[in-house]
Amino acid sequence: MTMLSLTINGRAVGPLDVRPDLSMNDFLRERLGMTGTKFGCGAAQCLSCAVIVDLDDGTSVTKPTCVAPALDFNKQKIRTVEGHAVNGVLTPLQLSFVEHFAFQCGYCTPGFLNEGQVLLERLEREKVAREDLERTIMEALDGHICRCSGYVKYHQAVRDVILADPSRFLTA
């Protein structure tokens, strides 16, 4: 057993004893009961298990949790689907997902939500031209598998958040 400490959705967790080979997905779901992060394939192929990792330089990335040991996240700050809404108030992206009927069964939604949120935050720092927007969204979301929806509405939901506030995300 090895000790693990990290920050999840702004709250310190640990130190906790974990098996060196315990996956981050199992740590979240089995140890913490945080089942918003899903298990889909266990092979980092569907990304329903992806969480946001906030890096020290102020940027963020998503990482699959199903193949990564929990210890890989030691001392890191992560965000999960449970941490997006604050005091019950949905984020613009969460609202957009709901309003667009972006998902059907919803099992892949946490991964798409995290990926879309990271994209929005990146575009706030690194704006893109309008003509590159669809391609940018595609590149960001393409690792995620959705078996129900055909992806169209996920992409539209992300795009519409951006187009609703173009000066924030797009170059002039």
Interface residue list for other proteins (CB under 8 A): 11, 13, 19, 21-22, 26, 30, 32-43, 45-46, 48, 80-82, 84-85, 88, 90, 94-95, 97-101, 103-110, 113, 134, 138, 141-155
* Residue 16: strand pairing partners: 4
CB of 23 to other proteins, least distance (A): 8
CB of 166 to other proteins, least distance (A): 18
CB of 48 to other proteins, least distance (A): 6
CB of 59 to other proteins, least distance (A): 23
- Greatest extent of the chain over all pairs of C-alpha atoms, in Å: 53
CB of 45 to other proteins, least distance (A): 4
> What CA–CA distance (Å, rounded) separates 118 from 53?
9
Nearer to other proteins, 82 or 121 (CB): 82
Tell me the two tokens of residue 14.
Answer: 């640990």
**Beta strands 11-18 and 2-8, pairing class:** antiparallel
CB of 168 to other proteins, least distance (A): 21
Nearer to other proteins, 138 or 163 (CB): 138
Nearer to other proteins, 95 or 128 (CB): 95
- State the helix-helix crossing angle for 133-141 and 152-164, rounded to 10 degrees: 130
* Residue 53: strand pairing partners: 61, 78
Nearer to other proteins, 21 or 56 (CB): 21
> What CA–CA distance (Å, rounded) separates 13 from 7?
6
Burial 120-149 (b: 16+ CB within 10 A, else e): bbbbeeebbeeeebeebbeebbeebebeeb
Nearer to other proteins, 63 or 144 (CB): 144
How many residues appear in the chain?
172
* Contact (Cβ atoms closer than 8 angstroms) between residue 111 and residue 50: yes
Nearer to other proteins, 20 or 59 (CB): 20
